[in-house]
A and B are shown apart, each in its own frame.
Chain A
């Protein structure tokens, strides 16, 4: 059974710092991995999607990497801003016929001005 873990559960950093959020999964037979952002009381915003054949994806100040063999992904945020404060979720899709995304419990990020 696939399990997705995100560490740390919460993170507080001063504005301007570069930071790394971690996501690990127990079953490496994944189709892809998706990173989301969730603001309090809101839906999820898709940030980056990495296919299993890819090593990384970049969008602006965000860079996500994937090491499928070790069951790890990282989300790197450069030059963090207070507007980056949110909960960040990673989710994997299994390499089977299911469309299900299996989510981690998230990392709650606070960027202090």
Chain B
């Protein structure tokens, strides 16, 4: 069966510090991968998606970037965090060509 992992589970970082969140998927090959953010009082917003290694599409201009160095690994990064980057970050995957998305456990990021 397929599983999706995210780490860390929680993170508290000062403004201006770098960020690296990792997501890995097991039990499937060539998945589509997604990064979403859920900010307090707001719905989920798609940040990035990837249909293959090195292929990243950005949905919202922002302070963040994403990379996919391996087939089942998706990384969310920032060089300098802003207060507004605080939120709950969720990674998701779907089978290529299909559309049901499955979500990971999330990372709670607090920027102080």
Contact = CB atoms under 8 A, between A and B. Distances in A.
Interface of chain B: mostly helix, strand, loop or mixed: strand
A101 B105 contact: no
Interface of A: 4, 31-32, 34, 36, 41-46, 49, 89, 91, 93, 99-101, 103-106
Contacts of A32: 99-100
A7 B8 CA distance: 33
Contacts of B26: none
Give the bracket for the number of chain B residues in contact with chain A: 20 to 34
Contact of B101 (A31, A41, A101): A101
Given A99-B94, A100-B49, A100-B59, A43 B42 contact: no
B7 interface: no
Contacts of B42: 105
